[in-house]
Chain A
Amino acid sequence: MDDLLREFVTETNESLDVVDVELVRFEQDPNNAKILDNIFRLVHTIKGTCGFIGLPRLEALAHAAETLMGKFRDGLPATRDAVTLILATIDRIKTILDSLEKHQREPDGSDADLIAGLERMVEAITAPKGAPVVEAPPLAPARDSEEELERAFRETEAEPPLAKPAAPREPAAADEDGGKAASQSIRVTVDTLEHLMTMVSELVLTRNQLLEIVRRHEDSEFKTPLQRLSNVTAELQEGVMKTRMQPIGNAWQKLPRIVRDLSNELGKQIDLEMQGAETELDRQVLDLIKDPLTHMVRNSADHGLESPAERRAAGKPERGRIRLSAYHEGGHIIVQIADDGRGLNTERIKAKAIAQGLATEAEIDKLTEAQIHKFIFVPGFSTATKITSVSGRGVGMDVVHNNIDQIGGTIDVKSVAGAGLMFTIKIPLTLAIVAALIVEAGGERFAIPQLSVVELVRARAGSEHRIERIKDTTVLRLRDKLLPLARLSALLGGERSADIENGFIVVTQVGSQTFGIVVDAVFHTEEIVVKPLSSKLRHISMFSGNTILGDGAVIMIIDPNGVAQAFGGTVTSQMTAADKRKGGATGVEEEKTSLLVFRAGSSQLKAVPLALITRLEEIDARKIELSNGRHMIQYRGQLMPLVTPSETVRVKAEGAQPLLVFSDGSRSMALVVDEIVDIVEDRLDIQVGSDNPGVLGSAVVKGQATEIVDVGHFLPLAFADWFRRKEQAQQARPRAVLLVDDSPFFRNMLVPVLQAAGYEVTACASGQDALALLDDGAVFDVAVTDIEMPDMDGFAFAEALRAKHAALPVIALSSVVSAESVERGRQVGFHDFVAKFDRQGLIAALKEQTEIGEAA
Chain B
Amino acid sequence: MMEHASQNLKEYVTAMIGGQLFGLAILRVQDVFVPERLTRVPLAPPEVAGVLNLRGRIVTLIDMRRSLGLEADKVEGQPMAIGVERAGESYGLLIDSVGEVLKLDDATREPNPVNLDPRLARVSLGIHRLEGQLLMVVDVDRVLASGGTAMAA
Q: Are B87 and A540 in contact (CB-based, < 8 A)?
A: no
Instruction: Tell me whether A534 is interfacial, beta carbon within 8 Å.
Output: yes
Contacts A536-B150, A542-B42 given; indicate if A548 touches B87 (C-beta within 8 A): no
Q: Are B87 and A554 in contact (CB-based, < 8 A)?
A: no
Residue of B42, B56, B147 touching A442 (CB-CB under 8 A): B42
Q: Are A534 and B51 in contact (CB-based, < 8 A)?
A: yes
Residue of A202, A492, A542, A546 touching B51 (CB-CB under 8 A): A546
Residue of B45, B48, B52, B57 touching A198 (CB-CB under 8 A): B57
B148 contacts which chain A residues (CB < 8 A)? 535-536, 539
B91 contacts which chain A residues (CB < 8 A)? 534, 536
Q: Are B87 and A202 in contact (CB-based, < 8 A)?
A: no
Instruction: Tell me whether A417 is interfacial, beta carbon within 8 Å.
Output: no
Q: Are B37 and A553 in contact (CB-based, < 8 A)?
A: yes
Q: Are A493 and B56 in contact (CB-based, < 8 A)?
A: no
Q: Are A536 and B144 in contact (CB-based, < 8 A)?
A: yes
Query: How far is it, in angstroms, between the C-alpha of A249 and the C-alpha of B144 when the chains are bound?
Result: 40
Q: Which residue of A lies closest to B149 (CB)?
A: A539
Contacts A444-B39, A540-B44, A554-B52 given; indicate if A531 touches B149 (C-beta within 8 A): no
Query: How far is it, in angstroms, between the C-alpha of A542 and the C-alpha of B144 when the chains are bound?
Result: 22
Q: Which residue of A lies closest to B87 (CB)?
A: A535
Q: Interface residue count for A (Cβ, 8 Å)?
A: 27
A199 contacts which chain B residues (CB < 8 A)? 56
Q: Are A202 and B55 in contact (CB-based, < 8 A)?
A: yes
Q: Which residue of A lies closest to B148 (CB)?
A: A536
Interchain pairs with CB closer than 8 A, number:
78
Q: Are B58 and A554 in contact (CB-based, < 8 A)?
A: yes
Instruction: Tell me whether B40 is interfacial, beta carbon within 8 Å.
Output: yes
* A622-663 Cβ-contact flags toward B at 8 Å (1 or 0): 000000000000000000000000000000000000000000
Contacts A534-B91, A535-B89, A554-B51 given; indicate if A540 touches B60 (C-beta within 8 A): no
A536 contacts which chain B residues (CB < 8 A)? 44-45, 48, 60, 62, 91, 144, 147-150
Query: How far is it, in angstroms, between the C-alpha of A199 and the C-alpha of B56 when the chains are bound?
Result: 7
Instruction: Tell me whether B53 is interfacial, beta carbon within 8 Å.
Output: yes
Instruction: Tell me whether A556 is interfacial, beta carbon within 8 Å.
Output: yes
Instruction: Tell me whether B153 is interfacial, beta carbon within 8 Å.
Output: yes
Interface centre among B51, B60, B89, B144 (most CB of A within 10 A): B51
A552 contacts which chain B residues (CB < 8 A)? 37, 53
* A520-542 Cβ-contact flags toward B at 8 Å (1 or 0): 00000000000100111111101
Instruction: Tell me whether A555 is interfacial, beta carbon within 8 Å.
Output: yes
Query: How far is it, in angstroms, between the C-alpha of A74 and the C-alpha of B43 when the chains are bound?
Result: 67
Residue of A201, A534, A537, A539 touching B56 (CB-CB under 8 A): A201
Interface centre among A205, A538, A543, A554 (most CB of B within 10 A): A554
Q: Which residue of A lies closest to B153 (CB)?
A: A539
Q: Which residue of A lies closest to B57 (CB)?
A: A198
Q: Are B150 and A538 in contact (CB-based, < 8 A)?
A: yes
Contacts A535-B150, A536-B148, A537-B48 given; indicate if A444 touches B58 (C-beta within 8 A): no
A543 contacts which chain B residues (CB < 8 A)? 41
Query: How far is it, in angstroms, between the C-alpha of A205 and the C-alpha of B147 when the chains are bound?
Result: 33
Query: How far is it, in angstroms, between the C-alpha of A537 and the C-alpha of B89 when the chains are bound?
Result: 12
B58 contacts which chain A residues (CB < 8 A)? 531, 534, 546, 548, 554
Query: How far is it, in angstroms, between the C-alpha of A493 and the C-alpha of B60 when the chains are bound?
Result: 20
Q: What's the least CB distance linking A61 to chain B, in Å?
A: 38
Contacts A494-B42, A540-B43 given; indicate if A534 touches B89 (C-beta within 8 A): yes
Q: Which residue of B lies closest to A443 (CB)?
A: B40
Contacts A531-B58, A546-B58 given; indicate if A554 touches B53 (C-beta within 8 A): yes
Q: Are A205 and B56 in contact (CB-based, < 8 A)?
A: yes
A540 contacts which chain B residues (CB < 8 A)? 41-44
Q: Which residue of A lies closest to B37 (CB)?
A: A553
Q: What's the least CB distance linking A817 to chain B, in Å?
A: 42
Q: Are B56 and A548 in contact (CB-based, < 8 A)?
A: yes
Interface positions, chain B 34-93, Cβ under 8 Å from A, are: 37, 39-45, 48, 51-53, 55-58, 60, 62, 87, 89-91
The 4 closest A-B pairs by CB, nearest first: A202-B56, A492-B42, A535-B150, A534-B60
Question: Mind listing 25 A-B residue pairs with CB under 8 Å?
Answer: A198-B56, A205-B56, A444-B42, A493-B43, A531-B58, A534-B51, A534-B58, A534-B90, A534-B91, A535-B89, A535-B148, A535-B150, A536-B44, A536-B147, A537-B48, A537-B51, A538-B150, A539-B153, A540-B43, A542-B42, A542-B43, A546-B58, A548-B58, A554-B51, A556-B39
Residue numbers of A with Cβ under 8 A of B are: 198-199, 201-202, 205, 442, 444, 492-494, 531, 534-540, 542-543, 546, 548, 552-556
Supply 10 further A-B pairs (C-beta < 8 A) apart from A202-B55, A534-B90, A548-B53. Answer: A199-B56, A444-B40, A492-B42, A492-B43, A537-B44, A555-B39, A556-B39, A556-B41, A556-B42, A556-B51
